[in-house]
Amino acid sequence: MPATNCDIDHTLPYATHNPTRGGLTVPSNLACLCRYHHNLKTRGYWTVQQHDYGEVVFTTPTGHTHTTTPPTPDEWNTHLADRDYQVWLNQLVRDHQPPPAAVAVATPTTTTPPDDPNEPPPF
């Protein structure tokens, strides 16, 4: 599943009331999980361990483990060369261009109202 469709999850839960206790928001403690797997982990049905090199190990209540690893550089380069990926990326870039600079933006004009003797000073 593409990361754009995932939740970003803290592998070690973020300690809301005392962040020094762990669960920091750093790459080695974040994982992109689909909503279903995120809920399994958050509700305690599955446990998750994350290693510094990107490997994530999920353990089910029955003790089965499922391991995910990031792609190797060769796998990533193959993915980048994939034509469907390039078409998708080009579409994404094209659809998210800023508006043309020729669009005029109205600059509001301000006028200073006359002093009201009943108003308090501005400080």
Q: Where are the domains of the chain?
A: 3-71
> What CA–CA distance (Å, rounded) separates 91 from 89?
5
Residue 59 confidence (pLDDT): 92
Query: DSSP state, 7?
Result: E
> What CA–CA distance (Å, rounded) separates 117 from 103?
43
Residue 10's H or E segment, with its range, is strand 7-10
CA 55 to mean position of chain CA atoms: 18
> What CA–CA distance (Å, rounded) separates 41 from 38?
5
> What CA–CA distance (Å, rounded) separates 88 from 49?
32
The per-residue pLDDT string of the chain (123 residues; one tens digit each, 9 = 90 and over) reads 677 788 999 988 888 888 778 788 888 888 888 899 899 999 999 999 988 677 889 999 999 998 888 777 777 777 666 666 667 666 766 666 554 444 444 455 555 555 666 666 555
Query: DSSP state, 104?
Result: -
The residues pairing with 58 across neighbouring beta strands, listed in sequence order, are 48, 66
